């Protein structure tokens, strides 16, 4: 009987890995204040009230009904940052982690920047991580203004070569070492492995996660894309793995067919829920397999 009650109270969507730390702290404070008020009448009942409140927070993730919704709507951004929940840090990127950090956690920079200066040659784009993907792809001939509508499209040359490389990667069934080599990761003693979590794919170096993709189709698109970009960008091999991941993440927006099944691509506006915030994103998905290719914050695209 007791187990049945506990199971009914438990809310996995708000506990464990999904627990919202700001929500928990706010509710514990409310529970403490309420228990102190009760304890003025009876210390026993005050203690029981606090213990019961903590049990409720443990099982449900919150005490006050509607806390997750209220937190998303009213908790100030500065308060979220106190708990490491930056509202501007939208968890929709994929590829090699934070585009502003190297795989070893240090700040990404070109060799020239590490010496306190920045160099840009006349025949290739800059190698710093501060690149606008659209401008970069326009510059090297990957994108061009569309002929039939006011937007950017893949050039015929790049589209043809990317499609051919996607077919080659599909037939080769890329290994973890192949993926690491494609992104120019230095050889290490640890073994590279690819883990599957539902549709998602995670690249690990030993026990450390160094890359993640929302689907195998996205992984195929990136591995094949980097092979073709070597032909279009003379400095591609000099770019950091994180910068390559950042650029390829943007390139997936322009896929014309889904890697793997060759089906159509769908573009939909969706709301991505984190523990403390809601974000509107553009979701690019394979229509037939429902594999997610990429998500981008709508406000970033509109800007």
Higher pLDDT, 303 or 115: 303
Question: Cβ(141)–Cβ(157) under 8 Å?
Answer: yes
242 with 190, same domain?
A: yes
14 with 127, same domain?
A: no
Least confident of 36-45, 68-77, 293-302: 68-77
Sheet with 192-197, side-by-side order of all strands: 192-197, 200-205, 208-213
CA 146, 121, 131, 97 torsion-angle sign:
positive
Of 75, 103, 126, which residue constitutes the final position of a domain?
75
129 with 21, same domain?
A: no
> How far apart (Å, rounded) are the C-alpha atoms in residues 289 and 83?
37
Residue 256's domain comprises: 111-261
Q: Residue 195 has which token pair? A: 């883990």
pLDDT average, residue stretch 95-124: 35
252 with 143, same domain?
A: yes
Q: Is residue 45 part of a domain?
A: yes
> How far apart (Å, rounded) are the C-alpha atoms in residues 26 and 39?
20
pLDDT digits (tens, 9 = 90+) for 128-180: 456 788 999 999 999 999 988 889 999 999 999 999 999 998 887 667 887 88
Q: How many domains does the chain have?
A: 2
Residue 240 has pLDDT above 50, yes or no: yes
By CB atoms closer than 10 A (0-12, 13-18, 19+), residue 117 is exposed
Predicted pLDDT of residue 13: 64
Tell me the pTM: 0.62
Question: Cβ(232)–Cβ(142) under 8 Å?
Answer: yes
Q: Are strands 200-205 and 278-286 parallel, antiparallel or unpaired?
A: unpaired
User: What is the pLDDT confidence band of residue 229, given thresholds at 50, 70 and 90?
Assistant: very high
Residue 97 is classified by DSSP as S
> What percentage of the chain reaches a pLDDT higher than 70?
66
Predicted pLDDT of residue 74: 53
Predicted pLDDT of residue 78: 59
Predicted pLDDT of residue 121: 33
Distances (CA, A) of 147 to 90, 143, 152, 162: 33, 12, 9, 20
pLDDT average, residue stretch 218-228: 93
> How far apart (Å, rounded) are the C-alpha atoms in residues 208 and 105?
12
Q: Is residue 273 part of a domain?
A: no
> How far apart (Å, rounded) are the C-alpha atoms in residues 92 and 209?
16
pLDDT digits (tens, 9 = 90+) for 244-260: 888 998 899 999 999 98
> How far apart (Å, rounded) are the C-alpha atoms in residues 265 and 281?
16
Predicted pLDDT of residue 104: 35
> What percentage of the chain reaches a pLDDT higher than 90?
24
DSSP H/E element including 278: strand 278-286
Predicted pLDDT of residue 207: 80
Question: Cβ(221)–Cβ(296) under 8 Å?
Answer: no
Residue 303 has pLDDT above 70, yes or no: no
177 with 60, same domain?
A: no
């Amino acid at each position: 009987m007791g187990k049945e009650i506990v199971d009914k109270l438990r809310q996995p969507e708000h506990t464990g890995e999904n627990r919202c730390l700001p929500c928990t702290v706010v509710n514990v404070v409310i529970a403490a204040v309420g228990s102190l008020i009760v304890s003025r009448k009876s210390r026993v009942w005050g203690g029981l009230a606090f213990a019961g409140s903590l049990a409720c927070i443990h099982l449900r993730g919150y005490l006050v009904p509607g806390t997750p919704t209220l937190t998303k709507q009213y908790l100030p951004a500065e308060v979220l940052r106190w708990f490491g929940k930056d509202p501007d840090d939208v968890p929709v990127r994929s590829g090699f982690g934070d585009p502003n950090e190297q795989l070893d956690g240090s700040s990404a920079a070109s060799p020239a920047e590490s010496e306190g200066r920045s160099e840009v040659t006349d025949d290739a784009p800059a190698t710093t991580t501060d690149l606008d993907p659209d401008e970069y792809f326009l510059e090297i001939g990957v994108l061009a203004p569309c002929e039939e509508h006011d937007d950017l499209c893949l050039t015929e040359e790049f589209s043809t070569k990317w499609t051919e490389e996607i077919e080659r990667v599909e037939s080769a069934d890329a290994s973890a070492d192949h993926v690491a080599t494609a992104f120019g990761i230095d050889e290490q003693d640890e073994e590279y492995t690819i883990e599957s979590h539902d549709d998602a794919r995670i690249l690990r170096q030993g026990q450390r996660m160094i890359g993640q993709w929302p689907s195998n189709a996205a992984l195929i698109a990136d591995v094949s894309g980097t092979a073709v970009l070597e032909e279009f960008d003379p400095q591609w091999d000099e770019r950091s793995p994180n910068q390559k991941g950042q650029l390829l993440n943007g390139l997936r927006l322009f896929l014309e067919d889904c890697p793997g099944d060759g089906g159509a691509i769908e573009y939909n506006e969706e709301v991505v829920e984190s523990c403390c915030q809601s974000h509107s994103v553009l979701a690019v998905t394979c229509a037939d397999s429902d594999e997610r290719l990429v998500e981008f914050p709508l406000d970033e695209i509109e800007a």
